[in-house]
Amino acid sequence: MLLRLFLTFAKIGAFSFGGGYAMIPLISHEVVTANGWITMDEFIDVVALSQATPGPIAINSATYIGYKVAGFWGSLAATAGVVTPSFAIMLILGFLFYKYRDVAFVKDIFRGIRPVVVVLIVSAALSVVPSTLTGVIPGIVAAVSAALILGFKKDPVLVLLAAGALGLILYL
């Protein structure tokens, strides 16, 4: 199980571009659909918890899921798995990018990758919408939050805290 956790999260770490939000669909597929380690509802809670705690989403998610599946050693295996390929890839790419950053070919590659990263982030958002927007009130909270953050440029942390307080009031 430890090797399976390591390899699953190594695959996620190796084939994810665009940061934590772009990894969400890959993590979801691997831990919910492919391996059945947690449910989609649990996964949404993992993502929320991972965002609320310090550190990258992928590492926090790997640590939690690894712990749930195989305890302390599972969390260690999953965390090491998600970090190792990314660390190695970043060392190599960082060196190469620094050395060849002004070459047109390299610039073109990054121009091609950017739109895919946007699609991965949108895909992540859309994959959690059905489990998150379960009624009129959650829909209104989502719409108001989006308007505040995107339209009025309000601090996302304050919006998150306000939504949490509203949740306490409405659902306690």
3-state secondary structure of 172: coil
- pTM (2 decimals)? 0.60
Q: Per residue in 11-48, pLDDT tens?
A: 998 887 667 777 888 999 999 999 999 999 999 999 98
**β strands within the chain, DSSP E:** none
- Lowest-pLDDT range, 18-27, 132-141, 159-168? 18-27
Q: Per residue in 85-123, pLDDT tens?
A: 878 988 998 898 889 989 999 899 989 999 998 998 888
Nearest C-alpha neighbor of 20 from the set 109, 92, 117, 94:
117
Residues 102, 37 contacting (CB under 8 angstroms): no
